[in-house]
Amino acid sequence: MDNSIFENTQFPYNIATESSNEPLKILQINLARAKATTNQLQETASTIKPDVILVQEQYVNNNVIPGIPQTWKTFSSSNQKAAILIPSPKLKPALLATKVNMVALKIQTSSFPITIISAYSSPAQDVHTTLQEIQDIISSLPEEKIIIGVDLNGHNTLWGYRSNDNRGKDILDFILANNLNIINKPDALPTFQRNSSVGWPDLTLCSQSLIDSSINWEVLEEISLSDHRYIETTIASTVANQFYKRYKTRHGNHLRFLNTLGKEIYHLERKIKAARNSGEINDATIELQTLIINACNKSFKIKKQLLITKPNWWTEQLEIHKKKARALRRRAQRAPEIERQARYQVFKKEKAKYKRHIKQARNMVGENSAAQPPIRMGSSTRRRFKNQFSHLKSHT
């Protein structure tokens, strides 16, 4: 068959647009190269419901991030140490660049397009390499609204440390040279904690053109199972989502659908048979798709599409363990200095126990269970529909 007859055809795709009243929500986390932190991320996302997730040091196996649902869109840097995850199937990002240490994409909000960057630079790496990659994106997008989530492992008092180091000075020079704004709050909770050692290596930056937008930045108390904490950034611009309509076809109204379709199907069948050129076939194809879509709209309800759901291995018992670990960490943070170390040891043991419970629950369900296989129409259903449709045609 000559496929060229379908080129440049404008099919009537069954697309709906949905705007949320919620602000754009971005979650940021260094996953510490651990499988448990990735499993925890899915549960946290089901609670926080972010539009975009910026991650660094994600656990990777065979070029994929295990534990991330297959419905999530994933964009990774070349070295796979930085990534941007899009949990919602309704959000349509455009990939701008993939470099060694960073990845950048663009999304459309109700007010403006925004470029989002995730990047990572290890303490052993020359930070200028990563900064130059980010610089290339910024330079190519003058006056664009940009937000950047990075872990650059630099110390500076402007984002929480008690002193500056050379990396922190270089990062600050880069920020000032590019007229970027530091969203981090100097008095915020540490974004990193390992035993009694704390730090603020995770930065959220934005272009000056975003400052006029209402931006809220917060280090969350949620358990991450990483040495790093979750960071939530919200921007006062809602997201316009586009998605394909899916219909509830398993609960009746098939006869209404067939009757609606049958009024025109015989005429359309003759039109297809009489087609003599690509233009006539294209017209008949578009008419057929439009007819089916209109019949569906008149006959079936539209399925509600859940954006982010809890993982199917999550249990009430895991929720209890998570809350207990969070409470113990809070007590350790608030304890007098003489008791703090002992309290952190109690928290550490509880966190390890919580990790084991997650691993057990995840393994019981299976590694690839996050994305459910598509429901296929059985042969009996197809045969019944075909018989009904043939019967309808004979009476047209």
Could you please report the per-residue DSSP string of 58-69? Answer: ---BTTB-TTS-
Predicted TM-score (pTM) above 0.85: no
Strand partners, 30: 56
* pLDDT score of 368: 47
**Is residue 116 within 8 Å of 147, Cβ to Cβ?**
yes
| Res. 389: pLDDT tops 60 | no
pLDDT (mean) for 311-335: 89
Helix (H) or strand (E) holding 284, with range, is helix 278-299
Intra-chain end-to-end CA distance of the chain, in Å: 30
* pLDDT score of 278: 86
| Res. 371: pLDDT tops 80 | no
- In the numeric block, the tokens 């008149």 are attached to 298
Alpha carbons within 13 A on the beta-carbon side of 243: 18
pLDDT (mean) for 302-309: 68
Tell me the per-residue pLDDT of 12-24, one tens digit each, with 9 for 90 and over.
456 555 555 678 9
Burial class of residue 187, CB neighbours in 10 A (0-12, 13-18, 19+): exposed
Give residue 387's pLDDT band: very low, low, confident or very high (50, 70, 90). low
CA 283-289-293 angle, to 5 degrees, is 145
Query: 118-143 in b/e burial notation, b at 16+ Cβ within 10 A?
Result: bbbbbeebebeebbebbeebbeebee
Of 238, 174, 183, 171, the C-alpha closest to 208 is 183
d(CA 311, CA 11): 36
| Res. 372: pLDDT tops 80 | no
Full DSSP string of 143-190: T--EEEEEE-----GGGT-SS--HHHHHHHHHHHHTTEEE-S-TTSPP
* pLDDT score of 306: 59
What is the overall mean pLDDT for the chain?
84
pLDDT (mean) for 298-313: 75
Of 239, 244, 202, the C-alpha closest to 219 is 202
* pLDDT score of 3: 41
* pLDDT score of 6: 36
* pLDDT score of 385: 52
* pLDDT score of 246: 75
Which amino acid makes up residue 88? Answer: S
| Res. 11: pLDDT tops 50 | no
Tell me the per-residue pLDDT of 157-197, one tens digit each, with 9 for 90 and over.
999 999 999 999 999 999 999 999 999 998 899 999 987 78
Tell me the per-residue pLDDT of 142-168, one tens digit each, with 9 for 90 and over.
889 999 999 999 999 999 999 999 999
| Res. 33: pLDDT tops 70 | yes
Query: 89-104 in b/e burial notation, b at 16+ Cβ within 10 A?
Result: bbbebeebbebebbbb
* pLDDT score of 4: 40
Give percent above pLDDT 70 in the chain: 84
* pLDDT score of 391: 55
CA 303-248-365 angle, to 5 degrees, is 70
| Res. 30: pLDDT tops 90 | yes
* pLDDT score of 287: 83
* pLDDT score of 1: 40
Query: 225-245 in b/e burial notation, b at 16+ Cβ within 10 A?
Result: bbbbbbbbbbbebbbbbebee
- Between the alpha carbon of residue 272 and those of residues 279, 292, 294, the distances in Å are 11, 15, 19
Give percent above pLDDT 90 in the chain: 48
Q: Name the least confident of 175-179, 240-244, 305-309, 344-348.
A: 240-244
| Res. 80: pLDDT tops 80 | yes
Alpha carbons within 13 A on the beta-carbon side of 36: 16
Residue 342 in tokens: 């002992």
pLDDT (mean) for 294-318: 79
pLDDT (mean) for 296-317: 78
pLDDT (mean) for 237-263: 75
Q: Name the least confident of 242-256, 260-274, 312-326, 337-351.
A: 242-256
| Res. 242: pLDDT tops 60 | no
pLDDT (mean) for 20-49: 91
